[in-house]
Amino acid sequence: MKLVPTTFRSCLFQLSVFNLQLLTFNHSYCLKLFITFVAMDSLTQIVLGAACGEVVLGRKIGNKALLFGAIGGTIPDLDVILGNFFFNNSIDQLAFHRGFMHSILFAVLAALFLGFVVFELYNTGKRRGTTQLKNWIQLFFLAVFTHPILDSFTPYGTQLFLPFSDYRVALNNISVVDPLYTLPFLACLLIVLFFKRTNPKRIKWAKAGLYMSSFYMLFTLVNKIYVDRVYKKSFEAAGIPVIRYRTQPTIFNNVLWYGIAETATDYRVGLYSILDSTNRVPHFFTLPKNHELQDMQHPDLQKLTWFSDQYYNLLPIENSNTIRYNDLRYPLLNSNDPNSSLFSFGLQKKGDRYTTVPFYGTEPSKKSLTTFWERLKGI
């Protein structure tokens, strides 16, 4: 039992460090937020993987099943480490994350390999015959496979079908960090730790965590359908000539939603809370595309726009020859500032390649955070 929390802390720390090396965010405030996001996201995947381990092998090997499941649930995100070894270009590293190691094929191959290796190492001495090879393959398949499936519900997108297709599956119905999904699930698994492996209450609590998290995920999907309709009607009522649009919840909740629509000349963005007294988005910001500021036909920049699903705009940075790139899939840091994009960095050319460089702006004030909270409560 002592191994589990130690492994949890180690995984969270390592993933936080390597993700920060991979991605260059614009604000110092964003760095603080990003550490929190990565830690919570990693914790969610560890909890889901641990639950899979308990369901498959908990009765046979006890708390070790939680540990091996947690390890399996963490494996796909090791691509942030491998990306640093394979590539020295930040755009390549960005595109590599949630790539092949988050695919269905990888889940199958990893399960076969890890299942065989762990079975051979574990099935020795007094433990011989206590488990079967198929048990370990099933454990690792569920732990690894559920990781990209869960990621596919978030706005970042997951390349589930690599190497056959680079399509990024992103249902956009839940934030990458949502405590209402993670914390009740975590509480159920912590309770599991206090029961002996033969106690039937272990599997009941593990399944309770799975049922609660799955029910909440279903709620967010229903919520997403409703919000999409609200935005569609709001665009029509505002007379906005929409080419396409997308919506997603803001961070830490499923109540306040961010929506962006593309027109021929610009983007329109707005916030809507399901607690609003009306079923219309009250206000839209206009964001210029400014795509003419940079020749985006270069392969590196084409990869970047693919990563952003073509939702991006460009801004000149004062006293610099660097262009600021804003990934507009994500909400604004300050709802009163249309240029306060959360995912923002500078573009810099080095030789024949483009790379990203940090853009340092001012962090949101306490008043902005208070405004965010008030907006979440509805108007």
**Is the per-residue pLDDT at 263 higher than 60?**
yes
Question: How do residues 98-133 score in pLDDT, each as one tens digit?
Answer: 999 999 999 999 999 999 999 999 999 889 999 999
What mean pLDDT do residues 313-321 have?
Answer: 82
Q: Which of 209-213, 304-308, 359-363 has the lowest mean pLDDT?
A: 359-363
pTM, full prediction:
0.87
Residues of the chain above pLDDT 70, percent: 85
CA distances from 9 to 46, 53, 186 (A): 11, 19, 14
Provide the pLDDT for residue 169: 96
Provide the pLDDT for residue 174: 96
Helix, strand or coil, per DSSP, at residue 287: strand
Provide the pLDDT for residue 42: 85
Q: In the block, which residue shows the tokens 């902005």?
A: 368
C-alpha count within 13 angstroms, C-beta hemisphere, residue 310 = 10
Sign, CA torsion 250/37/90/83: negative
Question: How do residues 148-183 score in pLDDT, each as one tens digit?
Answer: 999 999 998 899 999 999 999 999 999 988 999 999
C-alpha count within 13 angstroms, C-beta hemisphere, residue 298 = 16
Higher pLDDT, 186 or 31: 186
Provide the pLDDT for residue 247: 97
Q: Report the distance separating Cα 242 and Cα 235, nearest Å.
A: 7
Q: Is 171 exposed, middle or buried (0-12, 13-18, 19+ CB in 10 A)?
A: middle
With contact defined as beta carbons under 8 Å apart, do 378 and 275 qualify?
A: yes
Q: Which two tokens stand for residue 223?
A: 């919520």
CB under 8 Å to 289, separation ≥6 — which residues? 265, 266, 267, 313, 314
Question: How do residues 294-310 score in pLDDT, each as one tens digit?
Answer: 999 999 999 999 999 99
pLDDT class for 377, splitting at 50, 70, 90? confident
DSSP 345-363: EEEEEETTEEEEE----PP
pLDDT class for 15, splitting at 50, 70, 90? very low
Chain centroid, CA 122 distance in Å: 33
pLDDT, averaged across the chain: 86
Q: In the block, which residue shows the tokens 């993987």?
A: 49
Alpha helices in the chain (DSSP H): 3-22, 28-61, 63-74, 79-86, 90-96, 104-122, 133-151, 179-192, 201-238, 299-307, 366-376
Question: How do residues 179-208 score in pLDDT, each as one tens digit?
Answer: 999 999 999 999 999 999 999 999 999 999
Q: Report the distance separating Cα 77 and Cα 81, nearest Å.
A: 8
